[in-house]
Structure 1
């Protein structure tokens, strides 16, 4: 690649936000170069044979409620480029020790009906938010410090989502409703008693009731491949095996958008940034890490609860109190004996993921940032707890600790897949307190990773809004 060639814009990093930024700029007729350090595009959307030949595992993200909910991704013709979503019958199951389970369905009424005495409470809590979501989705999934188009709908969402997961759980009486809620809240990667821990849970639940928690046929790589193919058809250029260690590694361009963490941004172009902005980036706080396991399996996981056998996602942790206790311990720097485990089983619904009759399993638990502990036994024990005989189905195992996650994707600082803590402070000022969180202090330089609003997840909204900001400022 010649450094003498110039472009209108360069995007560094091809995760969901980098690809979204590149597509948005290219759709406006600019000449855009997308640079990726790895051999393939995708970031958190890659699929690989991690265990045995023929077993295709999602390296990071596996289930995509935000892909279905994203206004940006929904606006693109990705189905024309091979993206096909598969919708499990049950979005998420939360099993208990007695062999029963609570379940999240796409239908709000079906979900509520499974919660017994909490049926009407669940409806009253979620139904208004689900109905009003189209009025506020672009605000919630974008920069928060802006004037809302629908302030009353936004206020209704905010009054609930700024509460802690524990406070919302207090509305429910049954083990089933409280347990189901705890598993969704735990996606926030902050203690369930922390303010704003409900925010991500509400978004995920609303997304489920409106568009499901789908899995991409063939693996998460299919989303990246579809975005890349569309970008190329528009005339965009992609360079893989093109790491960027310094700003001088880049060709000439009017704007550069970085799908990187604040720490990487400082390394690449810190000398171009103001001292105040550098100070803000250094203060950006990273949260819990993850320990991830992929399994090649001889048969489907033998969950005791029938609902868990039909669910795309299974939350393993028992009661609300158990989940809350485990997440609190991780936040305190400890490793719980019975961690909350997020499990996905895409091969139940997509036979392209494994050889005939065989299956794949995908799981992770939260650990303290930078942890080097091997959580294989703790995770496997939780699987065996709710699916006796699970260990007998394991053909091969592949693990990632936090350091290995960070080596795979440098955006995962200490194993933090969310790009930084989503607490009451960083909900509004990630990665720095600015009117536009995507604009850095250097003209023509932007950040568009999961460390910007709306945070982690495969939705592309951070990249989309960063591109709009660059279009407004530079072009």
Structure 2
């Protein structure tokens, strides 16, 4: 007999695990099939540099995860998830040695920015007040399916028409323009632009302002916390919660085909020929091109959808390095020492140059680094008096990178750190390099080392994500749902794509309204892809 489950979830990344948990909460029999030998996708930890030094292999700091209504609703603290904070949230170290610092204490942040221009401290407080007014509805809007009716109405009630229009403008303004409007000195714009560069957007690109504003203001509101004991704790608690509710995970079970019949997802086949039947739904925590072109196949899809996928754009490749250090980083500017995350290597103009080199497909000569001082944030990451440090930088997207190019860029990264912290290299007792191919080998969803499931550019967001459509988890194949960061609202560890897919699957399965829901979605897809 062919084994069955109510829902088959492809991929045990955090979005897949969130979807599986929500379906299990609804009483569904859920099976998760994971291609690798471990769950978590890009939310995992291991000792890879030296004995006693814990590294988060991919993501590390989680402002969106901490604030996410999705993850908060799962009560992961009941399964052992605890959060901790570095003394300072974020420091942006400018090439001239000055540093702008975000601290969870508003007055402390304001005092840091006041050093850059008189009045910038107060201007930061005003910017934060603007955020605080909309934070709740904004997060609801970000983490729910498109169109975000409830969150949108909440914002409209609070802001009225004029305020809503000004917020809409802020959502599309470039981060350089936003920083120029909000501040007189260099500190505030550098903080915003550095946060925006967590994506693949340049400071001049439409929509970059909202990413900088969101991450910076979340840093002020809730910090950029880390799980005690490493990123793996998020995955461990999601797995424990799922198993407690009867869910199952099979490892080393790479799905190579979604089985369809009469336009409906019926189950999946894994490499080797094993098949599973899905009684109610198939949910896929894999990139959109992999789901549609590889697992479903072009023949089962509208031709227009396949054509649109040819224009799907990945975000940039990534190079990540972890170091075991025998002592804390010897920063020239000690104001940086207490920050969990440090941005360094560029001011605002330098960030523009860096982004332009990436856009031209060039390796930046002076890489901009995002640096994580993990032992500062959570001392359990390394022995007392030492530091577990990581840094990543963006590269142009390429399916294949030469080993010598990766090695040369690691040297450039260490040069940037040595300049900011003389003696850094002498403290290295272990190093682990994860180039784009290594990142993809550990998590097949990180195609070419791309972390976001597709570009964060405005032309691939909302109802345009992953391609022009509905901005929802539903696909043209009935009862097949996209649950990965390729779906709205995109990358980040917040669980929204997985939750949206689970909600869509539950809506489709309702006895009374499910057929109506399916009919509306089918009609909408026909209008888009005819």
Same fold (TM over 0.5): yes
Q: 1:169 aligns with which of 164, 168, 179?
A: 179
1:474 equivalent to 2:509? Answer yes
Q: 1:208 aligns with which of 211, 215, 219?
A: 219
Measure how far apart 1:155 and its partner are: 4.3
Measure how far apart 1:108 and its partner are: 3.5
Q: 1:16 aligns with which of 14, 17, 32?
A: 14
Match of 1:125 in 2: 127
Whole-Å separation in 1 of the counterparts to 2:313 and 2:459: 10
Query: CA, structure 1 residues 224+155, in 2 after alignment: closer, same or farther (shift >3 Å)?
Result: farther
Query: CA, structure 1 residues 27+155, in 2 after alignment: closer, same or farther (shift >3 Å)?
Result: farther
Match of 2:476 in 1: 441
Paired residue secondary structure (1:188): coil
Match of 1:330 in 2: 358
Query: CA, structure 1 residues 282+440, in 2 after alignment: closer, same or farther (shift >3 Å)?
Result: farther
Whole-Å separation in 1 of the counterparts to 2:437 and 2:346: 29
Query: CA, structure 1 residues 436+339, in 2 after alignment: closer, same or farther (shift >3 Å)?
Result: closer
Paired residue secondary structure (1:348): helix
8 Å CA contact 1:26–1:32 kept in 2: the answer is yes
Within 5 Å, which residues of 2 pair with 1:277-288? 277-288=305-316
Match of 1:312 in 2: 340
Match of 1:419 in 2: 453
Q: 1:137 aligns with which of 136, 139, 162?
A: 139
Unaligned runs of 5+ in 2: 259-268, 511-530
8 Å CA contact 1:288–1:331 kept in 2: the answer is no
8 Å CA contact 1:165–1:185 kept in 2: the answer is yes
Within 5 Å, which residues of 2 pair with 1:228-247? 228-247=239-258
Relative to structure 2, which stretch is displaced further, 356-365 or 464-473?
356-365
Query: CA, structure 1 residues 187+349, in 2 after alignment: closer, same or farther (shift >3 Å)?
Result: closer
8 Å CA contact 1:130–1:209 kept in 2: the answer is no
Measure how far apart 1:151 and its partner are: 4.3
Match of 1:346 in 2: 374
Measure how far apart 1:258 and its partner are: 0.4
Larger Rg: 2
8 Å CA contact 2:176–2:203 kept in 1: the answer is yes
Whole-Å separation in 1 of the counterparts to 2:155 and 2:387: 47
Match of 2:45 in 1: 47
Match of 2:296 in 1: 269
Listed one character per residue, the Cα deviations across residues 78-110 of structure 1 (whole Å, up to 9, x for unaligned) are: 112121111112110112344431101223343
1:408 equivalent to 2:424? Answer no
8 Å CA contact 1:419–1:451 kept in 2: the answer is yes
Match of 1:83 in 2: 81
Match of 2:282 in 1: 256
Whole-Å separation in 1 of the counterparts to 2:173 and 2:143: 18
Whole-Å separation in 2 of the counterparts to 1:349 and 1:125: 26
Paired residue secondary structure (1:419): coil
Paired residue secondary structure (1:313): strand
Paired residue secondary structure (1:245): strand
Within 5 Å, which residues of 2 pair with 1:332-411? 332-370=360-398, 371-372=401-402, 373-374=405-406, 375-411=409-445
Match of 2:261 in 1: none
Paired residue secondary structure (1:434): coil
Measure how far apart 1:164 and its partner are: 0.3
Higher relative contact order (CA 8 A, sep 6+): 1
Listed one character per residue, the Cα deviations across residues 144-178 of structure 1 (whole Å, up to 9, x for unaligned) are: 43432224345443321210011112122212222
Paired residue secondary structure (2:507): helix
Within 5 Å, which residues of 2 pair with 1:88-167? 88-116=86-114, 117=118, 118-147=120-149, 148-152=152-156, 153=159, 155-167=165-177
8 Å CA contact 2:87–2:377 kept in 1: the answer is no
8 Å CA contact 1:369–1:402 kept in 2: the answer is no
Q: 2:327 aligns with which of 299, 303, 306?
A: 299
Paired residue secondary structure (2:58): coil
Listed one character per residue, the Cα deviations across residues 37-82 of structure 1 (whole Å, up to 9, x for unaligned) are: 1111100101012122222111100111111111011112211212
Q: 1:197 aligns with which of 205, 208, 220?
A: 208
8 Å CA contact 2:86–2:378 kept in 1: the answer is no
8 Å CA contact 2:192–2:209 kept in 1: the answer is no
8 Å CA contact 1:25–1:32 kept in 2: the answer is yes
8 Å CA contact 2:318–2:436 kept in 1: the answer is yes
Alignment length (residue pairs): 473
Query: CA, structure 1 residues 364+436, in 2 after alignment: closer, same or farther (shift >3 Å)?
Result: closer
RMSD: 1.7
Paired residue secondary structure (1:425): helix
Q: 2:32 aligns with which of 31, 34, 44?
A: 34
Measure how far apart 1:123 and its partner are: 2.6
8 Å CA contact 1:327–1:339 kept in 2: the answer is no
Match of 1:218 in 2: 229
Unaligned runs of 5+ in 1: none
8 Å CA contact 1:430–1:451 kept in 2: the answer is yes
8 Å CA contact 1:343–1:364 kept in 2: the answer is yes
